[in-house]
Amino acid sequence: MDRFLIRGGKKLQGVVQISGSKNAALPILVATLLTDGKCVLHRVPNLRDVRTTLKILEYLGKKISYQKNTVTIEANGQLKNNLPYELVKQMRASFWVAGPLLARFKEAEIPLPGGCAIGVRPVDIHLKGFEKLGATCETKAGDVVIRAKKLTPAKIVLRFPSVGATQNLLMCACLIDGETVLENVAKEPEIDDVVAFLNKMGADIHSDDKGRLIVRGVKALHGAEHTVVADRIETGSYALAAAATRGEVTLEGCVPEHNAILWDDLQEAGFKLDIGKDFVRVHAYDGEIKPLRVRTAPYPGFATDLQAPWMTLMTLCNGTAEVDEDIFENRFMHAPELVRMGAQISTEKSLARITGVKELSAAHVQSSDLRGGFALVMAGLCAKGETEVERVYHIDRGYERLEEKLTELGADIRRYNPDKDEF
Ligand code: EPZ
């Protein structure tokens, strides 16, 4: 399995182009199941999770072509309405095919997505929502069979603003005659991008002055063309890597307002930023990094997906910082690996306390999840000496051309596979 070798101690300098958002591309790709029309999607990042989703769409019966970040999806005969465990276990978000398949075929048989490193990750909110729309959900042997004689519009209040459940229920409601109201929905920018794409396909979705999503069902949806929104988590990740290496980096092609909280926190920690219309520049800063307390929360709160990279920055702060991970129950796996690199971190349930150190030291570490893996790469960029990061496949899920982009910013990072490469 691939590893990264990183020779740290270099400041990141230069310009990085931000890719399309993984967490918008995945649901938008799934939404193409709602039509037999041709869909053309631009700025689709070339990531492991995108390739898995394309495999799922092909398995279900779509014809796919993928050239240089543009995906063309066309019908190719009758769609299947079930998925094999092999595909679902690779990526939890494959569960989101339930909504479109239920809407079109009134039946979907999908393996329940297992948990993952960061938590149990149940889908109760999804299933309760489908039941409100008139479906029955029966679990057997690890699968859930969701079926409905007739789907009916409903008013659904989500017990938690789950991103996935919001996407799944939105996609299902698009084809249900009548008006469905979704309340306490996720407000992440990726949802807006999915709504924009669904409306381009002929759906009728808008949000009201209470922030509820109002879906007026239509008979059918047609194909559409769409460019995926910039990836706000990649944007925040590179900004944090620039800050931690005391470098000067411009993030181009991003949507700065999608990371408003992060810019506030970085400035409060001492960093100077230029925030433009579609770029953010992190200025080089050699001063003390002020310790902060951040708490992850649904958008527009501090993004849980930036908690791990933020923690790496705080390992170099001047004092003791605190991080409350309030979204996932087990999202500190990067902490003990950072401790191996000389960081001083103690965790207790959802709270991590980080006492800053002068510098990190290179070590051999293991990624356990996507964003924790990026946090370890960041630590390797800061640490003197050569850091080896194992299980890079986690990181390949969500960062397009990571080593190329970092190399272009002056980092010394190489990918190698000890089973294959002479080293
Ligand atoms: C999406 O996951 C993202 N994934 C995650 O990004 C992100 O961390 C998460 O939203 C929160 O922002 C994609 O968009 C593909 P949730 P999702 O449903 O939809 C609990 C990354 O690194 N919950 O909002 O699975 C759940 O256990 C990934 O790019 C229920 O209890 O997140 C969690 O504690 C990681 N029941 C919380 O809600 C449910 O039915 C938030 O989950 C659904 C969720």
Q: Over the stretch 209-223, which tens digit does the pLDDT of each residue have? A: 999 999 999 999 999
What mean pLDDT comes out for the span 285-297? 98
Q: Which domain holds residue 212?
A: 22-227
Same domain, 404 and 301: yes
Same domain, 126 and 158: yes
Q: Say what angle helices 370-382 and 232-244 make with each other, to 10 degrees.
A: 20
Same domain, 284 and 304: yes
Copy the structure tokens of residue 113.
């997505």
Out of 19, 23, 228, mutate this one to test ligand 1's pocket (max ligand atoms within 8 Å of CB): namely 23
Same domain, 236 and 144: no
Residue 90: inside a domain: yes
For residue 14, pLDDT beyond 90: yes
For residue 395, pLDDT beyond 60: yes
Measured by CA distance, the residue closest to atom 15 of ligand 1 is 23
For residue 393, pLDDT beyond 90: yes
Strand partners, 216: 179, 204
**pLDDT in the model for residue 89:** 85
For residue 86, pLDDT beyond 90: no
For residue 422, pLDDT beyond 70: no
Q: Over the stretch 329-387, which tens digit does the pLDDT of each residue have? A: 999 999 999 999 999 999 999 999 999 999 999 999 999 999 999 999 999 999 999 99
What mean pLDDT comes out for the span 123-150? 95
In the listed set 196, 227, 258, which residue is the last one of a domain according to the structure? 227
End-to-end CA distance of the chain: 14
For residue 84, pLDDT beyond 90: no
Residue 423: inside a domain: no
Residue 113: inside a domain: yes
39 catalytically annotated: no
Measured by CA distance, the residue closest to atom 9 of ligand 1 is 163
Same domain, 220 and 256: no
- Give, as one character, the DSSP assignment of residue 119: B
Residue 194: inside a domain: yes
Same domain, 54 and 167: yes
Same domain, 271 and 282: yes
Classified as helix, coil or strand, 271 is coil
Per the prediction, the chain carries an average pLDDT of 96
CA distance 130 to 172: 8
- Residue 399 CA to ligand 1 center (angstroms) comes to 18
Q: pLDDT tier at 68 (50, 70, 90 boundaries)?
A: very high
Measured by CA distance, the residue closest to atom 17 of ligand 1 is 164
Strands 273-275 and 13-17: unpaired
Looking at the CA of residue 370, tell me the nearest atom of ligand 1: 22
Residue 400: inside a domain: yes
Per annotation, catalytic residue among 39, 116, 254, 317: 116
Q: pLDDT tier at 90 (50, 70, 90 boundaries)?
A: confident
- Residue 376 CA to ligand 1 center (angstroms) comes to 22
Contact indicator for 146, 135 with CB cutoff of 8 Å: yes
What mean pLDDT comes out for the span 232-240? 98
What mean pLDDT comes out for the span 47-68? 96
Measured by CA distance, the residue closest to atom 25 of ligand 1 is 164
Same domain, 211 and 234: no
Contact indicator for 261, 302 with CB cutoff of 8 Å: yes
**pLDDT in the model for residue 100:** 97
What mean pLDDT comes out for the span 14-22? 98
Looking at the CA of residue 329, tell me the nearest atom of ligand 1: 34
Residue 189: inside a domain: yes
Question: CB-based burial of residue 6 (10 Å sphere; 0-12 exposed, 13-18 middle, 19+ buried)?
Answer: buried
What mean pLDDT comes out for the span 127-141? 95
**pLDDT in the model for residue 97:** 96
Out of 26, 118, 121, mutate this one to test ligand 1's pocket (max ligand atoms within 8 Å of CB): namely 121
How many folded domains does the chain comprise? 2
CA distance 181 to 193: 19
The CATH number that applies at residue 33 is: 3.65.10.10
Same domain, 91 and 237: no
Looking at the CA of residue 190, tell me the nearest atom of ligand 1: 14
Given the structure tokens 């970040």, which residue do they identify? 69
| Main-chain dihedrals φ then ψ at residue 70, nearest 5 degrees | -110, 125
Same domain, 146 and 292: no
Lowest mean pLDDT among 84-93, 260-269, 404-413: 84-93
Same domain, 371 and 384: yes
- Residue 186 CA to ligand 1 center (angstroms) comes to 10
Residue 422: inside a domain: no
Question: CB-based burial of residue 423 (10 Å sphere; 0-12 exposed, 13-18 middle, 19+ buried)?
Answer: exposed
For residue 168, pLDDT beyond 70: yes
**pLDDT in the model for residue 79:** 93
Q: Over the stretch 311-326, which tens digit does the pLDDT of each residue have? A: 999 999 999 999 999 9
% of the chain beyond a pLDDT of 70: 99
For residue 423, pLDDT beyond 60: no
**pLDDT in the model for residue 248:** 98
| Pocket lined around ligand 1, Cβ cut-off 6 Å | 22-23, 26, 93, 119, 121-126, 160, 162-165, 186, 304-305, 327-328, 370-371, 398
What mean pLDDT comes out for the span 157-175? 98
Residue 293: inside a domain: yes
Same domain, 270 and 250: yes
Out of 162, 368, 396, mutate this one to test ligand 1's pocket (max ligand atoms within 8 Å of CB): namely 162
In the listed set 227, 254, 275, which residue is the last one of a domain according to the structure? 227
CA distance 147 to 121: 22
In the listed set 167, 200, 227, which residue is the last one of a domain according to the structure? 227
Q: pLDDT tier at 167 (50, 70, 90 boundaries)?
A: very high
Looking at the CA of residue 233, tell me the nearest atom of ligand 1: 29
